[in-house]
Amino acid sequence: MNPDDKLKEDLVKNYNDRADIFLQEENHFKRKSKIISSFRLLLGILTLVGIWMFTIYPAAYWLVLSSLSFISFFVVVVLDGKTNKKRQYFHRLRTINEQESATLNGKSASLTTGSLYSSQDHAYAYDLDIFGAGSLFQMINRTCTPSGEKLLVDHLSNPDLQTQHILQRQKAIAELMPLQDFRQQFMVTGQENSETPNDILQLNLWLNSANSKLNNPVIATFRFILPAVTLILLLLAVFGIISYFFVPVSILINMAFLQLYRSQINKIHAVVSHKHHILNKYAKLLKHLNDQTFSSEILTSLRRYGKDADSSLNALSKTMSFFDQRLNDLVAIVLNGIFLSDFHCVIALDRWKQTHKDHMPQWLNSIFLMDELNSFANFAFNNPDYTYPTFSDTIFFEAENLGHPLIRDHECIKNNFSSSAEEKVIVLTGANMSGKSTFLRSMGINLILAYSGAPVYATKLVCNKTTVYTSMRVTDSLGQDTSYFYAELKRLSAIVKNLREGTKMLVLLDEILKGTNSDDKLLGSIGLIEEFLQYDCLCLIATHDLALGELENKYPKQISNYCFESELNSDQLTFDYTIKRGIAKNKNATFLMRKEGLIK
């Protein structure tokens, strides 16, 4: 068996075995939940029977039966809720393992594509399939928070080129990679309650807003005095000392006092409403992070920032949850009519904010960065044959067994390639479908992985830190009234502008200037290549213009010819998809046209 196939088989077995274990746990809690539901029904019936019998035969034991049944009913309801949460937890664990198994078998349709982030105007993302169906994003993304996903998008579309930061990320990803239980538990905890980017925006809005004006001496005094008066009147009425008439009067006074500040309270509540479940989830994620020991610099710093943060976030979550009780009219009458709870909640939120305002961004960033690194670690785990690249200031690009991450292993032909320090332009010739474009994309996409701190599809990769720019899938735009040729000129102009500004670049061009005649195209291509020779860059140009290969004679140290060949044997066209030195000799367009019956 091929070693790559054996690795994949072991990974699939790992995920399938885990899915089976979690299915057993899920079924265990499902059965337990059914039993508890039966008890809940029985206790509900006993409660009603006890109340009914007490109304007919007012004996003490009926009252005791109904009271104990009622209390037990609520205990069982709480227990049922916890059991269902456990069942859902193992269901999510089972699902992600089944999903990973399917992905390794080439079925990734259920994963988020990231099409929302695709833009034809980006320097390389559209040409290199960074986002969209079957993209690098879809292969990597396992984030469980919108902010974690945004960090992943940022790293794939605008990577940090500082060597120290890349190496730190490599160590963090390598350390997380074997921690499969930790990673998956983090993921399913993050999936516990859905959230949107707007939730974090609103939390930040509240966090950075000024404290309310409700925390003043008047309210500080009356928020305790008025409830105390109401409770005293209630006790006096219960013992028959005064009439019950005074209790609702006191409640109305409390509600009237609260009404004076209703608009201010509503504005605060509108921002923090329904956020308690998200904060509760974040508290769990921080606790999960704090319970794990790490050695790499990034991960230990995340753990340090998150120390004791889970209890603080839990406290905030409980306050916001209690504040949300005002949404229930009956509960609000009791809580506000008697206790003025809105005042207590607003002041508690202000005090929490004063204490933790400066720390909360660090806590949240720890969660989001861990979420993003988790995705890259999962990618590394799923590709154990990938290797971490090294970086050089003298070698532009040197790879052994370089493959394309989006092509399945058994279909991917790997190539060796290196460029000298003096080389500026690689002219890559070859027939249609010979592998030129795929090779360019292999270089580009592996560099993006390298700059993200992830392992790459190669047994060895040494590279420089450069800005990647491509022109491979240029299209016209009716909406912007832009022709194909002008759209390509704009893209090439952006590349040259960056080079003239001193940006070190890897430029990947596929069959440029297709919108003009052959002579004009050749002259334009030569002029562009000679322009590239002036700058700090490595440009690979895939072309059918064999005449461009003659430039190597004029600039022997700066321009090199490489090619992909095809062979025609016994009326069969074959490709080896292997890069070679020199200019391509074979052609296949007329053969393919004859085979399709287009020409004779």
Torsion sign, CA atoms 291, 386, 115, 466: positive
- CATH of residue 501's domain is 3.40.50.300
Q: List phi, psi (to 5°) of 317.
A: -60, -45
- Counting DSSP H helices and E strands in the chain, the numbers are 21, 12
Q: CA-CA distance, 205 to 376, in Å (whole number)?
A: 30
User: What does the pLDDT read at residue 600?
Assistant: 60
Let me know whether 269 and 331 are in one domain: yes
Cβ–Cβ under 8 Å, residues 536 and 396: no
Q: CA-CA distance, 575 to 588, in Å (whole number)?
A: 11
Q: How many CB atoms lie within 10 A of CB 71?
A: 12
* Host domain of residue 558: 390-595
Residue 157 located in a structural domain? no
Let me know whether 202 and 53 are in one domain: no
User: What does the pLDDT read at residue 281?
Assistant: 94
Let me know whether 445 and 369 are in one domain: no
Structure tokens at 380: 């590394």
pTM greater than 0.95 = no
Let me know whether 433 and 498 are in one domain: yes
- Bridge partners for 541 per DSSP: 427, 509
Residue 568 located in a structural domain? yes
**344, 375, 406 - which closes a domain:** 375
Q: How many CA atoms lie within 13 A of 264 on its CB side?
A: 15
Let me know whether 349 and 394 are in one domain: no
Q: How many CA atoms lie within 13 A of 163 on its CB side?
A: 9
Torsion sign, CA atoms 424, 429, 432, 433: negative
The bridge status of strand 425-430 relative to strand 559-564 is parallel
Residue 135 located in a structural domain? no
Residue 44 located in a structural domain? yes
Residue 148 located in a structural domain? no
Let me know whether 297 and 398 are in one domain: no
User: What does the pLDDT read at residue 46?
Assistant: 82
Look-up of token digits 């992909």: 564
Q: 6-23: buried (b, 16+ CB within 10 Å) or exposed (e) per residue? A: ebbeebbebbeebbeebb
Q: CA-CA distance, 388 to 132, in Å (whole number)?
A: 25
User: How many domains are contained in the chain?
Assistant: 3
Let me know whether 273 and 416 are in one domain: no
Identity of the amino acid at 398 = E
3-class DSSP state of 168: helix
Cβ–Cβ under 8 Å, residues 301 and 256: no
Let me know whether 394 and 304 are in one domain: no
Cβ–Cβ under 8 Å, residues 531 and 425: no
Q: pLDDT tens, position by position, for the chain (600 residues)? A: 566 678 889 999 999 999 999 999 999 999 998 998 888 888 888 888 877 877 787 777 777 777 787 788 778 888 888 899 999 999 999 999 999 999 998 887 788 999 999 999 999 999 999 999 999 999 999 999 999 999 999 999 999 999 999 999 999 999 999 999 999 999 999 998 888 888 989 998 898 888 888 888 888 888 999 999 999 998 998 888 888 888 899 999 999 999 999 999 999 999 999 899 999 999 999 999 999 999 999 999 998 766 678 889 999 999 999 999 988 888 888 889 998 999 999 999 999 999 998 999 999 999 999 999 999 999 999 999 999 999 998 889 999 999 999 998 888 999 999 998 889 999 999 887 888 999 999 999 999 999 999 999 999 999 999 999 999 987 654 444 457 778 888 999 999 999 999 999 999 999 888 767 778 888 999 999 999 999 999 999 999 888 999 999 999 999 999 999 877 766 677 788 999 999 988 765 565 556 556 566
Let me know whether 365 and 411 are in one domain: no
**61, 80, 109 - which closes a domain:** 109
3-class DSSP state of 141: coil
The bridge status of strand 559-564 relative to strand 566-569 is unpaired
Q: Which of 453, 79, 368, 413 is nearest to 195 (CA)?
A: 368
Let me know whether 401 and 370 are in one domain: no
Question: At CA 329, angle to CA 324 and CA 332, rounded to 5?
Answer: 60
Residue partners of 578: CB distance under 8 A and separation at least 6: 413, 415, 435, 564
Burial class (CB within 10 angstroms; exposed 0-12, middle 13-18, buried 19+) of 129: buried
3-class DSSP state of 557: coil
User: What does the pLDDT read at residue 70?
Assistant: 77
Helix axes 360-382, 163-176, angle to 10 degrees: 70
Q: List phi, psi (to 5°) of 459.
A: -85, -20
Q: What is the DSSP letter of 115?
A: G
Cβ–Cβ under 8 Å, residues 493 and 525: no
Start-to-end C-alpha separation, the chain: 45
Let me know whether 18 and 49 are in one domain: yes
**109, 129, 152 - which closes a domain:** 109
CA distances from 456 to 177, 379, 530, 590 (A): 14, 10, 32, 38
Q: Which of 124, 164, 133, 186 is nearest to 448 (CA)?
A: 124
Structure tokens at 557: 């140290």
What are the percentages of helix, strand and coil residues in the chain, rounded to 5?
60, 10, 30
Q: Which of 180, 164, 159 is nearest to 456 (CA)?
A: 159
CA distances from 137 to 114, 148, 150, 360 (A): 6, 13, 11, 29
User: What does the pLDDT read at residue 293?
Assistant: 93
Let me know whether 89 and 205 are in one domain: no
Residue 172 located in a structural domain? no
Q: CA-CA distance, 94 to 100, in Å (whole number)?
A: 10
- The rounded radius of gyration (Å) of the Cα atoms in the chain is 33
Residue 55 located in a structural domain? yes
Residue 315 located in a structural domain? yes
Q: CA-CA distance, 367 to 351, in Å (whole number)?
A: 24
